[in-house]
Each structure stands twice: as structure tokens, then as C-alpha cells.
Amino acid sequence: MASALQTNMYSLGFAEITESLMALGHKRTLLLEGHMGIGKSSMLTDLARRMPDHTPCYFDCTTKDLGDIMIPNIQMLDGEGKFVRYLTNEEIGAHLDTPIILMIDELGKANRSVQNALRRAMLERKIGSYELHSESIVFATTNLGAENVGDLIEPHKRNALVKVQVRKPTAEEWLVDFAVPNGLNPSVQGFVQEFPQVMESFENVKVPADNPYIFHPQEYREAFVTGRSLHAASDILNTCGHLSRDALTGLLIGTIGVRASMDLLTFVDLAHKLPSIKDIKANPEGADVPDTPSGVCMTVFKMLNAIPHDRELITPWFKYMKRLAKEPQAMFIQGVAKPHYPAHEWVTSHSQFGDWAISHSYLFHSDK
């Protein structure tokens, strides 16, 4: 128990892991171990964005056998003799002459022969008859063994890697770092804002019934909430809004579970009562302000989604935002301040943003 607590104390967030991979990934292979569905696989996209001179390569161990990694190819040697050259799967990227970012996903679910074949790539940056570019980054992912979903990496193999415990993001971190930059449906964002326990770890829940939203190894649940399933729920709301209520409910239940779906649908209903983007743009000082905190938060999330597609919204929005409490104002600023927010550069360089920051500088001081 003490060992598990100590490990959790030193777990790393996604930003820290990205920096670690950029610094160490070309020398040592990091094994990222964390909860299912929290976004481990998104690390490849983030790294590729940060390192445009590297080619991203994705290798999914769950679908591979030994023959999918490398195959023997008989070649002639000066017309006199023959030798075997091992050709590799192009997904690994070993054939490229440029630096790559190789993500070996679900290593814990790979069979033993696949893990052994990939071992040389992870330790020596070599596979088959190929050698990776010296600046290439290699990392692997696996789920927590405590989740009992079949992930197994033998101790001597773990010992050869730098195992990093991936910290599950809090609801606030998930909203600011993922939901807002990726434009997830405002109802999903409002739901997570109102029910932050949906991002809780089962390790902090003694009895499964204490948190009916999430996965728990002690109780079978067909569907449950993760960052990944919330993203899917957002896609359902964005594309299936024309379907009947029963159809929409059925799709959501099969994605995030019954309890979460019922609660999420209350935010879907609330969304229809919010001021429209058109109303705020036309009359920022007269458009309705929702009378509940949830409604205000959803309005903020809706505007964060809309601004990257319409730059003319920024001025009326700041006029409207002055009518809100300081917490939702700070929520908006947090969202646009993230470098990966789609409109980060021009929003943060806009005069309206600068004026707001000066007049609300007290919000940036912890003693206020």
C-alpha cells in the first residue's frame, strides 16, 4: 500500500511527460502506465505538434503478431552467396532516414514474442536490419495492472525501461487542456464542470457504488466515463442531435453508462435555454445571462468553441463577459491562454484581452 501511494505521489501530468520525452526520449524509452481512456495515445499528436521535424509513427500492439514486425528477405551477395535481411513493418518507421517519434501502444497487451521483438527497438533503437535515426524518440504505453484488463509486462522488461506513472487529469485539467482546445460539445463540458467526480480514479473509491460514473475493477459496468468516452459522447451530440430522444439516449448509454447519460441530458436540455452566439454578438450588453452557474459555464464553453471560427466575436464577447462573475471570466481566460487553444495567438494579443488582464490583475495573485 505504501509503495502504491508513493508511486502516485510522483505520477506525472501530460505536460511534464511531454517535456520528459523531448529531453530523454531519444536516449531512453519511457513506458507510460496509466488509467484507460485518459489520453495516453494523444501524446503522439502532442509531440508531433511540438516537434514538426519528426515523423510520427504509431504501432498498435493489440493487432500484431511477430510476423507483423519483421519478415526475412533472402538477398544475394555479389552474386556469389545469399544472406537474410529482415524487413520491418513500415508502421514502425525504421525505413525512414529522418527522425521519428515511435509510439508503441498497448505494450502490456502484446504477446511475448511481439514484446521480445520490440525490445531491441526500445533499448538499442534497432529493429530487423534497420537502425533508427539517432534523434528518434521511442515511447510505449500500457494500462494499469490494477485495472485487470490484461496488461502484463514482465519485471525484467520493465526494468529496462523508464516507467512513468501517468497522473489522471482532474476535471479542471481535462476541461482546460483537452475539452476546450478540441472544441467538445458545451453540454459535455458543462456536465464535467458540474460533476468533477467523473474524472476520479477508482483507486480513490473504496466502494464502487460511491462513484457510479467510472470504471471500477470490483464491479462490471458495460459503459463508463473516461476522457475517451466523453469525447465520443461529444461526437454523438454534435452529429446526432436530429435523432429521437430515445435514440440519442441509447447511444449515450452505450458510451458513458446510464447514470452519466441521464445527467448529461439535463445539460443538453439546458443548452436550448442559453443565449445564442448570434444574440451575444448583436447585443452583448442586453443578451440574457443564464440564471444558474451551470448555464453560465456552458455559455463560456460555447463561446470558447465559437471564437476560433469567427474573430468578430471577441469584442462583443468581452463586453458580455463583464456582466458575469469573476469565476466564469477566469475560466474563459484560462481556456484561451493555453498555447494549443486554436485561437490562442490572436485572442491573447487582442487589445480586449490586454485591457481585461490589466483591470483584473488581482485574479492572478494567490493572496487575493
pLDDT tens string 83-113: 777 778 888 888 888 999 999 999 999 988 8
Q: Would you say 164 and 30 are in contact if contact means Cβ atoms under 8 Å apart?
A: yes
Torsion of CA 281, 284, 290, 291, to 10 degrees: 180
Q: Could you give the strand order of the β-sheet that contains 137-143, starting from the edge strand earlier in sequence?
A: 55-60, 100-105, 137-143, 30-34, 162-165
- Residue 365, pLDDT > 70, answer no
Q: φ, ψ for residue 126 (rounded to 5)?
A: -130, 150
Every domain of the chain and the residues it spans: 2-165, 171-364
The mean pLDDT of 337-350, rounded to a whole number, is: 91
pLDDT tens string 303-326: 999 999 999 999 999 999 999 999
Spatial separation of the C-alpha atoms in residues 193 and 198, rounded to whole Å = 10
Locus of grid cell 462573475: 325
Looking at the chain, the number of H-run helices and the number of E-run strands are: 16, 9
CATH superfamily placement of domain 2-165? P-loop containing nucleotide triphosphate hydrolases (3.40.50.300)
- Residue 7, pLDDT > 80, answer no
pTM: 0.82
Distances (CA, A) of 153 to 72, 112, 120, 243: 27, 9, 15, 44
- Residue 175, pLDDT > 90, answer yes
Q: According to the 3-state scheme, what is the secondary structure of 264-315?
A: HHHHHHHHCCCCCHHHHHHCCCCCCCCCCHHHHHHHHHHHHHHHHHCHHHHH
Spatial separation of the C-alpha atoms in residues 127 and 121, rounded to whole Å = 5
